[in-house]
Structures are given as C-alpha cells and as structure tokens.
C-alpha cells in the first residue's frame, strides 16, 4: 500500500506550454521588425532633411592621367569637422567597396553597387589621416579623410585602402595638389 501511494504522489514533469513559447517568439519577432522599421524610417528622414544638397558631380569624359589609384572601402561622408553627423542624401551614407583615382581634374570615386561621384580639384579642401567617421572607428591614422566642398557645405568622406601604407602618399599628394590650386587662385 505504501508503494502504491508513493507512486500515486509522483507526477510527471510539466509539459512545455507551446502556445506561450510561440507567443513570446512572435512578440520578439514583431519587436525586432518594429526596431528595424524605425531605423529605416530614421535613415529616410535624415535623407529628406539633407535634400538641399545638390546632385553629386560626375567624372569628366577626359579626366587626364591618373596620379594615384587605390582600392578599398568607402565608409561614408559626414559634415566636415563633425564625425558623427552622417550625410545620407544621394547615397553618400552607403558603405561600399571603392576604386579611387586622383587626376589633375579631381578625385573620381567609383563604388560598385552604389552611386559613383566625382570631387572636382577646385572643391578639394584637405586630406588627413583620422581614426573614425560615423559608423567606423579604427586605430589612429587608419582612415583617409578627404574634406571637400559640395554646394554650400563642406563634407568629410572616409576611405580605407586595402593597404593602409598608401594613406600617407594620398594625404601628401592631395594636400600638395590643394596648396598648388590655392596658390594659383591667389595669383590671379
């Protein structure tokens, strides 16, 4: 009798409540979808606010011989001096692979899968090595940042070469080209 009462008192383990578990998973999926949608809407809103930027210039048909070329990554553009104020209008916020070509005419930025653009030589303002731009932080000097004028705004665009040793040559060549351009304009 004691064995029978002991067996009667033992109960099987609780069965998983699948309805509650599925409910939690559906709720979590809806929350993630809402957060993603809000981020996307914020990106589109930022693009609308920056709608006053003119269209990006395109490369001239005859830009001249290449002074420097570089393959790497384009990490985005920001308002000059404000490394967290990302510019997203006209596709400038889209990170992508990049092929840079510097000529006497300017800087040709070719981005497979994103909008290409051209920075005329007279729009170039400065080149420097930095450690970050919106969405990307690297070690000190790991990013080539080119400051240029677009419309009435100064922009910083961040690039990283597949071979970081190239960055110093780009900074020297760009700054030399910019100072020659300023000297030529001052002589007029």
Quote the CA–CA distance of 32 and 15 in Å, as a whole number.
Answer: 28
The answer to whether residue 182 is domain-embedded is yes
Q: Are residues 27 and 83 in the same domain?
A: no
What tens digit of pLDDT does each residue of 142-155 get?
A: 899 999 998 888 99
Phi first, then psi: give them for residue 103, nearest 5 degrees: -130, 175
Quote the CA–CA distance of 49 and 29 in Å, as a whole number.
Answer: 30
Q: Are residues 92 and 161 in the same domain?
A: yes
pLDDT at residue 186, as a whole number: 54
Q: Are residues 37 and 105 in the same domain?
A: no
Q: Are residues 75 and 37 in the same domain?
A: no
Residues of the chain with pLDDT under 50: 187-188
Q: Are residues 77 and 155 in the same domain?
A: yes
The answer to whether residue 130 is domain-embedded is yes
The answer to whether residue 115 is domain-embedded is yes
DSSP string, 64-85: -S-SEEEEEEEEEEEETT-TT-
Q: Among candidates 45, 46, 51, which has minimal Cα distance to 151?
A: 51
What tens digit of pLDDT does each residue of 77-98 get?
A: 988 888 888 888 888 888 899 9
Q: Are residues 87 and 160 in the same domain?
A: yes
Q: Are residues 114 and 174 in the same domain?
A: yes
Range of the domain at 151: 68-187
Query: What's the Rg (C-alpha) of the chain?
Result: 27
Please state, as a whole number, how many other Cβ atoms lie within 10 Å of the Cβ of residue 100.
Answer: 24
């Amino acid at each position: 009798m004691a064995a029978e009462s002991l067996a009667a008192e033992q109960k099987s383990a609780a069965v998983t409540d699948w309805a509650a578990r599925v409910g939690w998973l559906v709720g979590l999926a809806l929350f993630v979808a809402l957060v993603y949608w809000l981020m996307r809407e914020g990106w589109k809103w930022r693009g609308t606010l920056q709608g006053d930027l003119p269209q990006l210039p395109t490369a001239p048909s005859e830009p001249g011989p290449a002074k420097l070329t570089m393959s790497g990554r384009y990490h985005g553009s920001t308002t000059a001096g404000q490394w967290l104020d990302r510019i997203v209008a006209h596709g400038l916020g889209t990170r992508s692979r990049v092929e840079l070509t510097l000529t006497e005419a300017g800087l040709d930025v070719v981005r497979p899968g994103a909008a290409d653009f051209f920075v005329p030589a007279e729009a170039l303002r400065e080149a420097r090595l930095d450690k970050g731009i919106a969405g990307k932080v690297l070690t000190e000097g790991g990013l080539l940042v080119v400051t240029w004028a677009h419309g009435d705004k100064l922009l910083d665009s961040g690039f990283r070469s597949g071979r970081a040793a190239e960055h110093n040559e780009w900074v020297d060549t760009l700054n030399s080209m910019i100072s020659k351009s300023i000297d030529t304009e001052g002589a007029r």
